[in-house]
Chain A
């Protein structure tokens, strides 16, 4: 296995030496363990090493440049750490020891990230940082958008972007044929001002709900099934009364089904809610 480490480490160092794409001749000439291999043996070995590196989070892909100036293999997947190292305001040693401390306690595997196509995510992230427009196919339609944020909701990563002057959300896993523009845009995409509510959220209609439950436990256990603001919590004899505000209609419906056997009373400000709760899963 040490030979694989050596080749992979050499690949990482080699890619760092070149700012644009490199071809297989350069790779073969520069890495001792590849040099004496036949072409087919080199390609097999290179593909295996690329796969090892991919599993560790390094993506090596062939980039086609239509002018044939920068075509070749490029490496990606370390943008965040690179940015941290280049940021003079961040103490990179402190961050690294913090990360390693957390890694001692929290067991992570790359599947935790839950994205089928990590390359899309990292390319969009790059486009956000560099203020570039992107295009992609989503639900069979080509979209050209200004990306400004990600949103993580119930284990799904969403992209928030301006599409024809309207803020919209897209499931990152469902984005295909992603292309990144090459000119900086000048749109003001202030994350503190722009909304990240879902496109279907209809301007986040707010529900005010008062719930009486036979104990706090069902609320505590299922509270993360919906996004909400807890306004107040009161003991009423043995029961508890919760005042909640939420725009997450779907999550609220789930919560009510989950806690139904503990519910004593429900008051909502929306009568129409009764119809939607029943009709949606007939």
Chain B
């Protein structure tokens, strides 16, 4: 979503809040909307202009008095609904994708449960439960530095990262913790389902991942049957080649191989003897163990 749309969304969220309650502490309102004083002034100015320009009905009346804001809205605007199903369901899907039990390590469970249970009432959705392993209960958005034991994509090894969590995001690889890696002094994303442990201890000799310099890898494949969704990949991430094969570029070869294994029943690698060898070897091992 571009920033103009974000601004409009912010105005719609503001209107919904003041419809619920006409008088607010400005600080509380800013905190709920995650905005600063400048953004607040922008919202108030824009809404004031909207009121002036709207000629078919009185829309709203705003009074700002020191630390408080009072907004009176007419009946028509009160009955208009401005929170969209897309927004609510995008949030709902992230909670389901990440598995609410896993998110409880990062977000107060009361909020997660209230949101999920309310949406459940209106969208009859069945969820097939995946077992989760509980991680210690931390609320990571209190600004505290923490150490995570994290297994990067493409490997089953894990490494320690000292981080400061910023937010939770949904990227093409899944739901992730967006955080500042304190040692590397840059922001990184850590997939929630690959964080093996969390601790508030700062380790003296952490097991740090030193293999950061990896080469991008272009993986070429065809679909086995029909075009089906491949995890979180969006259509724009997949390049269609002249010979009708598809390509996706990954951060390194190991991530591409893991992607192939995850989608082995949907896609087939093209001219890739190294990946075919790896798949055959995995397959032989599985069959040997079942056959023994």
Encode contact with A along B230-244: 1 for CB under 8 Å, 0 otherwise.
011010000000000
Q: Which are the 7 A-B pairs with shortest beta-carbon distances? A: A57-B84, A57-B86, A260-B282, A196-B126, A78-B81, A112-B90, A230-B131
Minimal beta-carbon separation of B165 from chain A (angstroms): 9
Number of residues from A at the complex interface, CB < 8 A: 109
Interface residue from A149, A217, A228 paired with B125 (Cβ < 8 Å): A149
Main SS at interface, chain B: helix
Cβ contact within 8 Å between B290 and A106: no
A-B contact pairs, 30 of them (CB 8 A): A4-B4, A6-B53, A12-B80, A13-B59, A30-B56, A32-B56, A55-B5, A56-B1, A77-B85, A81-B84, A84-B122, A90-B118, A93-B21, A96-B16, A100-B17, A101-B32, A102-B91, A106-B168, A111-B90, A111-B234, A121-B89, A125-B123, A150-B126, A155-B231, A155-B232, A217-B196, A224-B99, A230-B131, A253-B265, A266-B286
Interface status of A69 (Cβ within 8 A of chain B): no
Main SS at interface, chain A: helix
Binds A, one of B106-114, B200-208, B212-220, B248-256: B106-114
Q: Which residues of A contact B124 (CB under 8 A)?
A: 128, 148-150, 191
Minimal beta-carbon separation of B128 from chain A (angstroms): 4
Q: Which residues of B contact A228 (CB under 8 A)?
A: 130-131
Chain B residues engaging chain A, CB cutoff 8 angstroms? 1, 4-5, 7-9, 11-13, 16-17, 20-21, 32-34, 46, 49-50, 53-57, 59, 76-77, 79-91, 93-94, 96-97, 99, 106-107, 111-112, 114-115, 118-119, 121-133, 141, 151, 156, 158, 167-170, 178, 193-194, 196, 224, 228-229, 231-232, 234, 258, 261-262, 264-265, 268, 279, 281-283, 285-287, 289-292
Q: Which residues of A contact B258 (CB under 8 A)?
A: 258
Interface residue from B93, B194, B283 paired with A112 (Cβ < 8 Å): B93
Give the docked Cα–Cα distance between A150 and B229 (Å). 17
Give the docked Cα–Cα distance between A56 and B11 (Å). 12
Q: Find the A residue at minimum CB distance from B33.
A: A100
Cβ contact within 8 Å between B118 and A280: no
